[in-house]
Amino acid sequence: MTVNKRIVSGMRPTGPLHLGHYFGVLDSWVELAKDHECFFFVADWHALTTEYAEPQKVKGFVPSLVTDWVAAGLDPAKVVMFQQSQVKEHAELHLLLSMITPVGWLERNPTYKDVRDQLDGTKDLSTYGFLGYPVLMASDILIYKPTRVPVGHDQLPHLELTREIARRANHLWGEIFPEPEAKLTKASKLPGLDGRKMSKSYGNAIALGEDLAGVRKRITPMLTCVKRARLKDPGEPNECNLYPYHLLFTDPQKCEEIAVSCREASIGCGECKKIMADNLCAFLEPFQQRRAELDKNPDLAWDILRDGNERARVAARATIEELREKLNFNF
């Protein structure tokens, strides 16, 4: 099989992108696009695994997602951006791979258990779609035959399952799919405003398009270092919920000064928050300005997707035709 530098990755359109998405995924995509052939897709079928009761909401987030990608620096002329549900070959490969994937492989998936427990009582996740979504994910990846897939450490079990499915398909049907290696992305170091993982479902995330005055208001009550119950109490920046934001948005020299001042209790948390808020808003403002310019063309995202869908179909169709030959399904 041909060695390539093709990258495949996707995002679910379930709400506005936030800072965790940007530093955990989007900035890595922008870097990868400089020297890889990239296929980045809107995973709207995947969104239905948890949002199946309100599918009308999913489409509403699709153009916003693509526009954010472009505002962040992805060039649709160089990157294939497409909508998963509009490339039907994904569904055909999903069906075929589901025939050979043992149920036990899916039940042992740690993310399946974590998300099920996290959303227990709020959504009924006792569906095949939720249990079997790793097979759809494997299809999304394998249909483009990439050799590497960008993932965070928490997604490594997903990719290993994709590799197992590819291995089983190759064993049963003949060599078709490469076993993609992980291209580890840097983990987002930003906790949520309340100290938990940044998540839309927790309401502790700062959206990329959030009103800047609103951002400042939300930072004011933000959790900081628990050691600083009083102004005169020395703190520890490495145990502070705010300091990871400084490391991303504040000048390195100023970060060092803040760290020393925190340990000496010569700076208050309120002042520290104001400095960070100024720098965070300075980061968000140019992104929001680019986004505002893109929004002047309401058809832009759909035009990008129409072009990307066709480019993706060409690559996906080639894999499906090869697989049909292996299965003796062509007439």
Q: Is residue 90 part of a domain?
A: yes
Neighbour order of strands in the sheet with 181-184: 80-83, 37-42, 6-11, 148-151, 181-184
User: What CATH number is attached to the domain comprising 268?
Assistant: 1.10.240.10
Q: Is residue 46 part of a domain?
A: yes
The answer to whether residues 331 and 103 touch, using CB atoms and an 8 Å cutoff, is no
The per-residue pLDDT for 120 is: 58
Check pLDDT > 80 for residue 232. Answer: yes
Non-local CB neighbours of 97 within 8 Å, separated by 6+ positions = 135, 138, 139, 142, 165, 169
The per-residue pLDDT for 136 is: 97
The Cα–Cα gap between 157 and 111 comes to 8
Q: Are residues 283 and 155 in the same domain?
A: no
The per-residue pLDDT for 153 is: 81
Q: Are residues 122 and 224 in the same domain?
A: no
**What mean pLDDT do residues 158-172 have?**
96
Q: Are residues 94 and 126 in the same domain?
A: yes
Check pLDDT > 70 for residue 187. Answer: no
Share the mean pLDDT of the chain: 92
The Cα–Cα gap between 126 and 137 comes to 18
Check pLDDT > 50 for residue 306. Answer: yes
Q: What is the pLDDT of residues 197-216, one digit of tens each?
A: 888 878 899 999 999 999 99
pLDDT band at 285 (very low <50, low <70, confident <90, very high): very high
The per-residue pLDDT for 50 is: 85
Q: Are residues 214 and 118 in the same domain?
A: no
The per-residue pLDDT for 304 is: 98
Q: What is the pLDDT of residues 50-87, one digit of tens each?
A: 889 889 899 999 999 999 999 999 999 999 999 999 99
Candidates 86, 62, 257, 94; CA nearest to 162 is 94
Q: Is residue 91 part of a domain?
A: yes
User: Residue 296 burial (CB < 10 Å; 0-12/13-18/19+)?
Assistant: exposed
Q: Are residues 247 and 315 in the same domain?
A: no
Q: Is residue 1 part of a domain?
A: no
Q: Are residues 306 and 160 in the same domain?
A: yes
Give me the domain span that covers residue 216. Answer: 209-292
| % of the chain beyond a pLDDT of 90 | 75
Check pLDDT > 70 for residue 116. Answer: no
Q: Are residues 287 and 302 in the same domain?
A: no
The per-residue pLDDT for 117 is: 66
Q: Is residue 199 part of a domain?
A: no
Q: Are residues 43 and 142 in the same domain?
A: yes
User: What CATH number is attached to the domain comprising 305?
Assistant: 3.40.50.620
- Long-range contacts: 293-302, Cβ < 8 Å, 24+? 294/67, 294/70, 294/71, 295/67, 298/63, 300/67, 300/70, 301/62, 301/63, 301/64, 301/65, 301/66, 301/67, 302/63
Residue-level length of the chain: 331
Check pLDDT > 60 for residue 24. Answer: yes
Q: Are residues 171 and 120 in the same domain?
A: yes
Q: Are residues 14 and 92 in the same domain?
A: yes
Q: Is residue 29 part of a domain?
A: yes
SS3 at position 183: strand
Q: Are residues 66 and 89 in the same domain?
A: yes
Check pLDDT > 90 for residue 2. Answer: no
Q: How many structural domains is the chain composed of?
A: 2
**What mean pLDDT do residues 102-130 have?**
78
Q: Is residue 24 part of a domain?
A: yes
How does DSSP classify residue 237?
A: G
pLDDT band at 1 (very low <50, low <70, confident <90, very high): very low
**What mean pLDDT do residues 19-35 have?**
92
SS3 at position 210: coil
The per-residue pLDDT for 3 is: 46
The per-residue pLDDT for 208 is: 96
**What mean pLDDT do residues 326-330 have?**
89
Least confident piece of the model among 106-120, 126-140, 263-277: 106-120
Q: Is residue 204 part of a domain?
A: no
Least confident piece of the model among 80-89, 107-116, 175-184: 107-116
The per-residue pLDDT for 152 is: 82
Q: What is the pLDDT of residues 259-272, one digit of tens each?
A: 999 999 999 999 99
Q: Are residues 159 and 243 in the same domain?
A: no
CA distances from 130 to 30, 47, 143, 161 (A): 30, 10, 21, 15
The per-residue pLDDT for 113 is: 66
